[in-house]
């Protein structure tokens, strides 16, 4: 897992890479500009994480917020790592198989099979999952707030009931 300090460094570089990427796509006029606000989003989240890190580097949700920031920089992390010197060299190994899932997966209360269980056979064999609760703007702790099941995940937050309110979650998958 990347440290908060390293994620902040990578995010700072990634925001510039993202702007550059979008400018090239604008110049080519045929490129995908669906993420045109991504540089601003990276900047705002980075400033918030930096402020919290400066206030209290041991704050309990800081790593989860930093992980969200890292996920925003996903496309630019490799290049940012090389620019920053945090990579230390090595070999990039491309995966030979794809699991066929577009991550993140957006799920809402209507997608739940019961009050707390969400089932999707596509995620059963994946290695790493992170669950982001959009309503609280944070990643859930896998040890106490959600559990993997043989068919998906269960939200273990006391009092959580997907049938009583509308909730939105994002499931991030990494292999």
Q: Mind listing the pLDDT tens digit of every residue in the chain (175 residues)?
A: 578 888 888 888 888 888 777 766 555 555 555 567 788 888 889 999 999 999 998 888 899 999 899 888 888 888 888 787 765 554 444 444 444 555 678 889 999 999 999 988 777 666 678 888 888 888 888 878 998 888 888 999 999 999 998 999 988 876 4
Q: Is 141 helix (H, G, I), strand (E, B) or coil?
A: coil
Task: Name the H helices within the chain.
Answer: 4-28, 38-55, 62-72, 77-84
SS3 state of residue 92: coil
Q: Could you give the CA distance from residue 64 to residue 41 in angstroms, rounded to a whole number?
A: 16
Domain ranges of the chain: 4-84, 105-174
> In terms of pTM, does the model score above 0.75?
no
Helix (H, G, I), strand (E, B) or coil at 60: coil
């Amino acid at each position: 897992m990347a440290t908060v300090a390293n994620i902040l460094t990578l995010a700072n570089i990634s925001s510039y890479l993202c702007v550059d990427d979008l400018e090239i796509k604008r110049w080519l006029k045929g490129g995908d500009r669906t993420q045109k606000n991504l540089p601003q989003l990276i900047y705002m989240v980075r400033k918030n994480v930096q402020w919290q890190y400066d206030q209290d580097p041991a704050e309990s949700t800081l790593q989860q917020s930093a992980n969200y920031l890292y996920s925003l920089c996903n496309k630019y992390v490799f290049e940012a790592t090389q620019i920053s010197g945090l990579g230390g060299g090595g070999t990039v190994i491309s995966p030979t198989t794809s699991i066929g899932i577009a991550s993140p997966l957006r799920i809402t209360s209507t997608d739940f099979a019961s009050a707390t269980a969400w089932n999707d056979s596509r995620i059963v064999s994946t290695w790493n999952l992170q669950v982001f609760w959009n309503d609280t703007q944070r990643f859930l702790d896998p040890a106490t707030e959600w559990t993997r099941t043989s068919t998906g995940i269960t939200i273990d937050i006391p009092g959580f009931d997907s049938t009583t309110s509308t909730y939105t979650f994002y499931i991030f998958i990494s292999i």
